[in-house]
Amino acid sequence: MPESPAKAKFSPASEATLKGESTRFFTFFNVILTLIGLTFIELIMIVLPFHQYVLLAGLLILSVIKFILVIWYFMHLRWDQLLLSALFILGLILATGTAIVLYFLFPAGESAANSEAPTVQQATH
């Protein structure tokens, strides 16, 4: 007697898989609560009277924590092979390094458009 196509395609998952995924289910909820909490902290930080550099550092640290939480848990790097982490981190290092070098290569407020800005404003007021 031929099996029905729907039942033949999905066999029951192993006990180990079911147990592992059930544990992850609660982990995912804890992670999302942490992510939402960190986002609220980011929003609260901007109204608190911290120094500019403290705020910048704080925002960067919070973003990095959120970033790591997502790739570590939601993207399964915690449970996957190290090669995948290494591959992704390589791309990340190249991207971050390029961004940092470029950012400090260009001095602040030196463009022609910026120097014209106050003149334009004075002319209109």
Partner 1 sequence: MSEATAPSIRPDEPEPHHGAATNTGIPNKKLAMWAFLASDCMFFGTLISTHLIYRRVNPDIVIDGNIVPATTIFDIELTSASTFILLMSSLTMALTVSAMHKHNVKAARNFLLGTIFFGGLFIGAQIFEFHHFVHNEAHPLTLTNTIFGSTFYVLTGTHGVHVLLGIIWLISWYVFSFSPKFAEEHAIDIEVTGLYWHFVDIIWILIFPLVYIIEYI
Site for partner 1 in 1-40 (CB under 8 A): 3, 5-6, 8-18, 21, 24-25, 28-29, 31-32, 35-36, 39
The answer to whether 54 touches 37, Cβ cutoff 8 Å, is no
57 is a site residue for partner 1 (CB under 8 A): no
**The two structure tokens encoding residue 52:** 């500019």
Please report how the helices 15-45 and 52-69 are oriented relative to each other, as an axis angle in degrees rounded to 10. Answer: 170
Number of residues that bind partner 1 (CB under 8 A): 73
Minimum distance, C-beta of residue 65 to partner 1, in the bound complex (Å): 10
Element (H, E) at 55: helix 52-69
For the bound state, the minimum distance from the C-beta of residue 98 to partner 1, rounded and expressed in Å, comes to: 6
42 binds partner 1 per the rule CB under 8 A: yes
